[in-house]
């Protein structure tokens, strides 16, 4: 039985990393999106605070662009950690979504700490004794327990909202409901395991250490003390493998939606890479259903855009 648990965990981690890489490659290979260029663009050095742009500069095309990574981080980190945009535009949904996501971050962080301590112990670095070891253990204990609780409550809140709010009825697909139920069950079992048999996360930490050292030792305990952790390992492993295979992989897509769409203000200069890419895009056929576009699946973007421009000039 123990060998099966470790095999499930290894397969889940493998699926997760392969799926994440595949998603990243998919986003990188996607054609250029119609750019938003919604100002302020966070990476505008010295101009983002008032919504300015490098286009303000005289002969900007001859000037070196000043891009601020710090400016991007000031926007992205609060958005990732606290879902700032959701709070501003849909506070009621944020009340449920924020604890769900923030709890996940705490669980991920505590799991990463478990992996780190397991790796340190595996390579025999004698640095986790005494005060430092106690500090790390307490951080893992608090973050993992708090993360499980608030994420589970957030998932319940989101599920309740999906099922009860009439305005969301058309958007509550069976997959959305299944995803939330999956989280509620997996995190619920993990919480019960923590409360009843593993209230210091020593079993989980030991399992992770065994994963790192390829030692498929049986989980300690008998009866319920062994069954609950085993069920939790299987559910959490399946959840890890499942997430990047669904639209929940938006944790990857959000980076590209900001940097390749919302903040993409790369200039289209003569002879530059943007010109070549746009030239290729203009030769693609349009299949939009909007009547004013008059797309037939054969006309290219260049033909439709030119035709619209000619008609506008004749008015």
Cα separation, 3 vs 219, in Å, equals 10
Three-class SS of residue 300? strand
The position carrying tokens 């663009």 is: 41
Summarize pLDDT for 100-115 with one digit per residue, the tens.
999 999 999 999 999 9
Three-class SS of residue 90? coil
Regions of the chain with pLDDT less than 50: none
Provide the sign of the torsion angle of the four alpha carbons 235, 236, 242, 246, taken in this order. positive
Whether the CB-CB separation of 297 and 288 falls below 8 Å is answered with no
- Buried b / exposed e over 193-216, threshold 16 CB at 10 Å, is bbeebbeebebbbbbbbbbbeeeb
Whether the CB-CB separation of 2 and 231 falls below 8 Å is answered with no
The CB-side HSE value for 95 (13 A sphere, CA atoms) comes to: 5
Cα separation, 304 vs 295, in Å, equals 8
- Buried b / exposed e over 240-274, threshold 16 CB at 10 Å, is bbbbbeeebbeebeeebebebebbbbeeeeeeeeb
What string of DSSP letters covers 276-297? HHHHHHTTSB-----TTT---S
Cα separation, 266 vs 53, in Å, equals 11
CA torsion 241-25-151-224 (nearest 10°) is 10
The predicted pLDDT at position 138 comes to: 93
The predicted pLDDT at position 23 comes to: 93
The predicted pLDDT at position 266 comes to: 86
- What's the length of the chain? 315
Cα separation, 248 vs 246, in Å, equals 5
Whether the CB-CB separation of 223 and 229 falls below 8 Å is answered with no
Cα separation, 258 vs 244, in Å, equals 19
> Which DSSP letter does residue 201 get?
S
The predicted pLDDT at position 32 comes to: 82
Q: What number of H helices and E strands is found in the chain?
A: 11, 0
Q: Which residues lie across from 285 on neighbouring strands?
A: 300
The predicted pLDDT at position 181 comes to: 96
State phi, psi for 128 to the nearest 5 degrees: -105, 25
110: its two tokens: 């505590």
State phi, psi for 58 to the nearest 5 degrees: -65, 130
Whether the CB-CB separation of 219 and 183 falls below 8 Å is answered with no
237: its two tokens: 């492993």
Provide the sign of the torsion angle of the four alpha carbons 59, 61, 65, 71, taken in this order. positive
């Amino acid at each position: 039985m123990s060998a099966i648990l470790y095999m499930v965990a290894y397969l889940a981690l493998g699926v997760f990393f392969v799926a994440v890489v595949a998603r990243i490659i998919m986003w990188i290979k996607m054609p250029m999106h119609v750019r938003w260029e919604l100002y302020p663009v966070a990476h505008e050095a010295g101009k983002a605070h008032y919504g300015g742009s490098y286009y303000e500069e005289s002969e900007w095309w001859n000037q070196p662009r000043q891009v601020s990574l710090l400016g991007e981080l000031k926007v992205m980190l609060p958005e990732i950690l606290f879902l700032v945009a959701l709070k501003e535009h849909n506070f009621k949904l944020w009340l449920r979504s924020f604890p769900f996501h923030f709890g996940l971050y705490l669980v991920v962080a505590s799991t990463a700490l478990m992996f780190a301590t397991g790796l340190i112990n595996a390579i025999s670095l004698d640095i986790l004794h005494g005060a430092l070891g106690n500090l790390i253990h307490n951080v893992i204990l608090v973050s993992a327990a708090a993360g499980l609780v608030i994420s589970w409550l957030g998932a319940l809140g989101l599920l309740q909202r999906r099922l009860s709010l009439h305005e969301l009825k058309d958007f509550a697909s069976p997959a959305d409901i299944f995803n939330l139920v999956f989280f509620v069950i997996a995190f619920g079992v993990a919480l019960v395991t923590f409360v009843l048999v593993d209230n210091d996360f020593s079993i989980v930490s030991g399992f992770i250490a065994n994963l790192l050292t390829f030692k498929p030792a049986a989980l300690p305990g008998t009866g319920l003390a062994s069954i609950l952790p085993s069920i939790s390992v299987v559910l959490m492993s399946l959840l890890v493998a499942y997430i990047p295979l669904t639209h929940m992989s938006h944790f990857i897509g959000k980076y590209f939606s900001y940097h390749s769409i919302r903040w993409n203000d790369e200039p289209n200069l003569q002879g530059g890479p943007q010109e070549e890419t746009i030239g290729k895009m203009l030769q693609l056929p349009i299949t939009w259903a909007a009547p004013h576009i008059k797309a037939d699946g054969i006309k290219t973007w260049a033909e439709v855009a030119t035709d619209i421009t000619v008609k506008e000039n004749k008015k």
